[in-house]
């Protein structure tokens, strides 16, 4: 009995907080998504799946969904490729490599909000780069004022700010590659390309999975950078799902509709992350077999 009380006193506080601040809110989200609540009225009406049906007709929400998926897909590929590429380049314990690692990583320390304001001052219509181009007599470039350019700029800044993390994760993975195998491959006359694809890459398989899942989950919730870099514009072209959810919930007072979008985003995030993890673990087993 006393032992049980001790266990409860160790597990209880964290569990209670977790349930109150996370499990119940997720349940509340599910419930609100079935209502037409505006955030004020005392008795919101239950409207069933109407919000979800409306979601499939909402051009704005569908565009935000595609924009988010595009950011996540392109961003995840770029982060992983650049992460691995640069990890191979700065692997090794020299002082110069240590310096390069810090330089590649530092933007990650800055808040995404600050990064967005900084880059909007650099890329904006009257920003630093365009000011410089004008002074050279060149045309102004629409980094943030043309819908396609703005989306590309947003992805570019996300990659600039984030790939240092992937570099660090791949560096950690490279430490686990067996030196004996690398040496054996070299002795057997394998080219560096063969060594990379037959020895290094298979050993990195678990780190590849971590990188893909982490990048995907992070990019699917892109919000702060949208607020400070593009404000969702021009003409809504850079509105992400998280941006639209908060906009609908707090500016449009459409909490039911916003909650339905939240539920869909949660399901897609968990679904994609688990799918990637499962596909990767099958790939890992294939390598071991």
Partner 1 sequence: MSALRMPRVATLQLKPWRSKGWGRIAFLVITSVLMLVPMYLLVVSAFKSQQDILAHPFSVSPDQLTTEYLKKAATNPDFNILKGYAVTILFVVSVNVLSVALAGPVSYVIARRGERRYRMLLLLFVAGTFIPSQVLVIPVVYTLKFLGLMGTIPGFVLFETTLTLPFSIFLYAGYIMTIPASLDEAAAVDGAGKHRVFWSIVFPLMKPAVVTMVILNTFSVWNDFVNPQIILGPGSGLYTVTTGVYAAVSQYSTDYTVVFPTLLLAVAPLLVIFVLLQKHVISGLTAGATKG
Residues 35-74 touching partner 1, rule: CB under 8 A, are: none
Nearer to partner 1, 22 or 77 (CB): 22
> What are the backbone angles phi and psi of residue 137, rounded to the nearest 5°?
80, 15
Nearer to partner 1, 47 or 217 (CB): 217
Smallest distance from the beta carbon of 257 to partner 1, in angstroms? Answer: 11
Q: State the residue for tokens 């290094």.
A: 200
Nearest of 218, 171, 170, 177 to residue 196 by alpha carbon: 177
Nearest of 164, 121, 160 to residue 152 by alpha carbon: 160
For the chain, what's the residue count? 289
For partner 1, which residue of 49, 89, 235, 279 counts as binding (CB under 8 A)? 89
For partner 1, which residue of 76, 78, 101, 232 counts as binding (CB under 8 A)? 101
21-53 per-residue burial string, b: 16 or more CB within 10 A, e: under 16:
eeeeeeeebeebbbbbbeeeeeebeebeebbbe
Smallest distance from the beta carbon of 178 to partner 1, in angstroms? Answer: 15
Smallest distance from the beta carbon of 288 to partner 1, in angstroms? Answer: 18
CB-side exposure of 247: number of CA atoms within 13 Å? 16
Site for partner 1, residues 119 to 138, rule: CB under 8 A: 119-122, 124, 126, 128-129, 131-132, 135
Neighbouring residues of 58: CB distance < 8 A, sequence distance ≥ 6: none
Nearest of 172, 257, 265, 255 to residue 219 by alpha carbon: 265
Q: How far is CA 42 from CA 26, 38, 188, 243, in A?
A: 20, 10, 76, 27
Tokens of 270: 């968990």
For partner 1, which residue of 62, 110, 138, 279 counts as binding (CB under 8 A)? 110
Q: In the stretch 208-237, what mask flags binding to partner 1 with x, by CB under 8 A? A: --x---x--x--xx-xx--xx---------
Stretch that binds partner 1, among 53-61, 71-79, 112-120, 281-289 (CB under 8 A): 112-120
Site for partner 1, residues 154 to 173, rule: CB under 8 A: 160, 165, 168-169, 171-173
Stretch that binds partner 1, among 49-57, 71-79, 145-153, 255-263 (CB under 8 A): 255-263
Smallest distance from the beta carbon of 233 to partner 1, in angstroms? Answer: 12
Q: In the stretch 1-40, what mask flags binding to partner 1 with x, by CB under 8 A? A: --x--xx-xxx-xxx-xx-xxx-xxx-xx--x--------
Q: Does 280 help bind partner 1 (rule: CB under 8 A)?
A: no
């Amino acid at each position: 009995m006393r032992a049980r009380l001790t266990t409860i006193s160790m597990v209880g506080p964290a569990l209670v907080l977790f349930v109150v601040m996370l499990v119940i809110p997720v349940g509340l989200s599910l419930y609100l998504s079935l209502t037409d609540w505006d955030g004020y009225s005392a008795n919101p009406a239950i409207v069933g799946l109407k919000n979800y049906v409306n979601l499939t007709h909402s051009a704005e929400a569908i565009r935000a969904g595609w924009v988010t998926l595009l950011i996540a897909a392109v961003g995840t590929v770029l982060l992983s490729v650049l992460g691995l590429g640069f990890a191979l380049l700065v692997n090794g314990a020299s002082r110069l490599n240590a310096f390069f690692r810090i330089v590649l990583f530092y933007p990650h320390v800055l808040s995404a909000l600050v990064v967005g304001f900084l880059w909007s001052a650099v890329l904006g219509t009257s920003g630093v780069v365009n000011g410089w181009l004008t002074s050279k007599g060149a045309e102004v470039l629409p980094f943030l004022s043309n819908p396609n350019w703005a989306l590309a700029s947003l992805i570019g800044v996300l990659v600039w700010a984030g790939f240092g993390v992937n570099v660090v994760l791949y560096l950690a993975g490279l430490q686990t590659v067996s030196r004996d195998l690398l040496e054996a491959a070299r002795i057997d006359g394998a080219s560096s390309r063969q060594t990379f694809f037959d020895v290094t890459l298979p050993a990195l398989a678990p780190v590849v999975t971590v990188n893909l899942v982490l990048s995907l989950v992070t990019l699917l919730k892109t919000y702060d950078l949208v607020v400070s870099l593009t404000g969702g514009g021009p003409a809504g072209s850079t509105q992400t799902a998280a941006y639209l959810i908060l906009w609908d919930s707090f500016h449009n007072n459409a909490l039911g509709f916003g909650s339905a979008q939240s539920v869909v985003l949660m399901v897609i995030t968990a679904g994609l992350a688990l799918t990637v993890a499962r596909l990767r673990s099958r790939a890992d087993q294939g390598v071991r077999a």
